[in-house]
A and B are shown apart, each in its own frame.
Chain A
Amino acid sequence: MKALLEVSGISVSFDGFRAINNLSFSIGPAELRAVIGPNGAGKTTFMDIVTGKTRPDEGRVLWGEKSVNLLRMNEAQIARAGIGRKFQRPTVFEDQSVTENLMMALKAARAPWKVLVWRPCPADHARVAALAAQVGLADSLTRKSGELSHGQKQWLEIGMLLAQEPRLLLVDEPAAGMTLAEREQTTALLVDLAKTRAVVVVEHDMDFVRRLNCRVTVLHEGSVLAEGSLDHVTADRQVIEVYLGR
Chain B
Amino acid sequence: MKPGFLAKNPSVLAFLALLALFTLAVTLLSTAYGAEIVSTSMVKTLGKTLCLCLIAIAMDLVWGYTGILSLGHFAFFGLGGYMIGMWLMVARTREIVLASAAGVLPMTLQELSDAIATQIFGVVGSSELPAIWHFAGSLPMQLIFVVLVPGLLAFLFGWLAFRSRVTGVYLSILTQAMTLALSLYLFQNDSGLRGNNGLSGLQNIPGLAADQDHLSVWFLWASAVALGLGYLLASFVTSGKFGSVMRGIRDDEARVRFLGYSVESYKLFVFTLTAVIAAIAGALYYPQAGIINPAEMAPIASIYLAVWVAIGGRGRLYGAVMGAAFVSLVSTWFTGGRAPDLTLGIYTVKWVDWWQVLLGLSFVLVTLFAPKGLSGLVDLLAGLRTPWRGGTPLGPDDGSLREEEAVE
Contact = CB atoms under 8 A, between A and B. Distances in A.
B48 interface: no
A93 B397 contact: no
B240 A75 contact: no
Contacts of B400: 149-150
Given A112-B265, A177-B396, A74 B242 contact: no
Contact of B247 (A96, A112, A153, A160): A96
A148 B401 CA distance: 9
A73 to B, nearest CB: 11
Given A53-B254, A76-B260, A150-B396, A112 B242 contact: yes
Contacts of A94: 251
A146 B241 contact: no
A238 B311 CA distance: 62
A153 B241 CA distance: 20
A149 B397 contact: yes
Interface residues of B, number: 30
Contact of B261 (A110, A116, A153): A110
Interface string B233-248: 0000100111011011
B385 interface: no
Interface string A96-120: 1000100111000011110110111
Interface in A107-136: 110-113, 115-116, 118-120
B406 to A, nearest CB: 12
A154 B6 CA distance: 35
B397 A153 contact: yes
A79 to B, nearest CB: 4
Contacts of A150: 395-397, 399-400
A142 interface: no
A80 interface: yes
Contact of B266 (A84, A93, A112): A112
Contacts of B259: 79, 104-105, 160, 164
A53 B165 CA distance: 13
Contacts of B266: 112
Nearest to B1: A117
A116 B258 contact: no
B397 A110 contact: no
Contacts of B245: 104, 115
19 contacts: A51-B258, A76-B257, A76-B258, A87-B255, A93-B247, A93-B248, A93-B251, A100-B244, A103-B244, A104-B241, A104-B244, A104-B248, A112-B269, A118-B242, A146-B399, A160-B259, A164-B259, A164-B260, A177-B396
Interface of A: 51, 53, 74-77, 79-80, 84-85, 87, 91, 93-96, 100, 103-105, 110-113, 115-116, 118-120, 146-150, 152-153, 160, 164, 177
Given A96-B247, A103-B244, A118-B241, 20 more contacts: A75-B257, A76-B257, A93-B251, A93-B252, A95-B247, A104-B259, A110-B260, A112-B265, A112-B269, A115-B242, A116-B240, A116-B242, A120-B241, A146-B399, A147-B398, A147-B399, A149-B400, A150-B396, A153-B397, A160-B259
- Listed from nearest, the 7 A-B pairs whose CB atoms lie closest are A79-B260, A75-B257, A80-B260, A76-B262, A112-B269, A147-B399, A150-B397
